[in-house]
């Protein structure tokens, strides 16, 4: 769909049936599990934006600091005139810090949350009159195909926010390989990766005092109530977030505070008291560990920027021939 000659919209939004199949099968396993991509309905996307501004949530603040401090070095790596793909573009606020320095010819924000994506792309189109924008509503964790019209230029992928942290090693490997194919020879990837650090700091970032993260986690149940006719009572579930040292990851769960039965899409599920739905992993990396993953996935490590407190890293990788 063409909105104007500079703003185009491509809709590959996942069908409701996909969510239903995913959720029902996730609730049938020994450890109940629902994928974190389902957090991002319209309200969930808003709550996530609030998380990004929380004092405990050092990730966004630190990454933005790095983009501001090293913007010209980053721009030099990317070069001007590229087609820039952003995976999970959300509000498209970080890209604003790079656009003037990088001067891509085409920006392709990709996001699963349609309303949020379209709003962000429209306001970006208003503010940058020289930029061509192709907004793509898509679940990038499934395989996707590029519109042919976007295959011309040097291609750069941008994957900020440590969203890669949601994926297990094998999934992260598969996605990076797919990105390497997407950008092709001479293409690059700019990616934000959260670092392994002090457990207190990590756990505080996912257990904020204002309980926005708890609301974000529980909003998943509200969404299932609405979209899958479920009957979760939010006061009977509790937000949990803790660091799993063996796996180098924060885990988020929704824990049932009592023994109860829940209906979801016409099926009945039992929860024991204390039984959880595992809703998110957020893997943390060392620089060396991430380089290994990148190398295995078809990339060469070109540059890495890290803040002085070693909280967060931004990597520039080039796809290997």
Give the interface with ligand AVJ as residue ranges (CB under 6 A): 51, 59, 161-163, 165-166, 206, 213, 280, 282
**Least distance CB 277 / ligand AVJ (angstroms):** 14
| Class of residue 285 by CB neighbours under 10 A (exposed 0-12, middle 13-18, buried 19+) | buried
**Least distance CB 263 / ligand AVJ (angstroms):** 27
**Least distance CB 308 / ligand AVJ (angstroms):** 21
**Least distance CB 123 / ligand AVJ (angstroms):** 21
Q: For ligand AVJ, which is the closer residue by CB, 240 or 267?
A: 240
φ and ψ of 138, to 5 deg: -160, 150
**Least distance CB 6 / ligand AVJ (angstroms):** 28
The residue count of the chain comes to 321
**Least distance CB 135 / ligand AVJ (angstroms):** 19
Q: Using CA atoms, how far apart are residues 274 and 290, in angstroms rounded to an integer?
A: 34
Dihedral over alpha carbons 39, 41, 44, 49 (to 10 degrees): 110
Longest CA span, the chain: 58
Q: For ligand AVJ, which is the closer residue by CB, 161 or 188?
A: 161
| Residue 214, token pair as written in the block | 């708890």
Q: For ligand AVJ, which is the closer residue by CB, 20 or 278?
A: 278
Q: For ligand AVJ, which is the closer residue by CB, 83 or 85?
A: 85
| CA distances for 269 relative to 28, 29, 239, angstroms | 8, 11, 19
Q: For ligand AVJ, which is the closer residue by CB, 7 or 159?
A: 159
Of 293, 286, 315, the C-alpha closest to 303 is 315
Position of minimal CB gap to ligand AVJ = 282
Q: For ligand AVJ, which is the closer residue by CB, 271 or 312?
A: 312
Q: Using CA atoms, how far apart are residues 51 and 47, in angstroms rounded to an integer?
A: 6
């Amino acid at each position: 769909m063409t909105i104007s000659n500079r703003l185009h919209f491509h809709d590959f939004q996942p069908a409701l049936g996909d969510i239903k199949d995913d959720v029902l099968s996730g609730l049938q396993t020994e450890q109940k599990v629902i994928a974190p991509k389902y957090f991002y309905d319209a309200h969930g996307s808003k709550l996530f934006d609030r998380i990004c501004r929380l004092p405990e949530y050092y990730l966004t603040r630190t990454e933005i600091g790095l983009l501001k401090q090293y913007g010209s070095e980053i721009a030099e790596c990317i070069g001007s005139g590229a087609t820039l793909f952003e995976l999970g573009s959300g509000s498209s606020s970080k890209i604003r810090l790079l656009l003037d320095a990088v001067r891509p010819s085409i920006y392709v924000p990709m996001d699963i949350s349609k309303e949020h994506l379209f709003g962000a792309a429209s306001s970006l189109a208003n503010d940058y009159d020289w930029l061509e924008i192709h907004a793509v509503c898509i679940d990038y964790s499934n395989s996707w195909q590029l519109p042919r019209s976007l295959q011309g230029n040097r291609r750069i992928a941008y994957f900020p926010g440590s969203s890669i942290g949601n994926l297990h090693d094998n999934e992260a490997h598969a996605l990076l390989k797919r990105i390497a194919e997407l950008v092709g020879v001479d293409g690059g990837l700019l990616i934000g990766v959260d670092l392994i650090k002090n457990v207190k700091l990590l756990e505080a970032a996912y257990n904020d005092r204002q309980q926005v993260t708890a609301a974000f986690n529980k909003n998943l149940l509200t969404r299932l109530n609405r979209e899958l006719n479920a009957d979760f009572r939010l006061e009977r579930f509790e937000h949990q977030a803790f660091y799993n040292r063996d796996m180098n990851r924060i885990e988020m769960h929704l824990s049932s505070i009592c023994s109860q039965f829940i209906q979801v899409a016409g099926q009945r599920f039992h929860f024991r008291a204390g039984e959880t739905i595992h809703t998110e992993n957020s893997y943390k990396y060392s620089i060396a560990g991430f380089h290994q993953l990148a190398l295995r996935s078809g990339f060469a490590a070109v540059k890495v920027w890290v803040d002085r407190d070693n909280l967060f890293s931004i990597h520039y990788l080039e796809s290997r021939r």
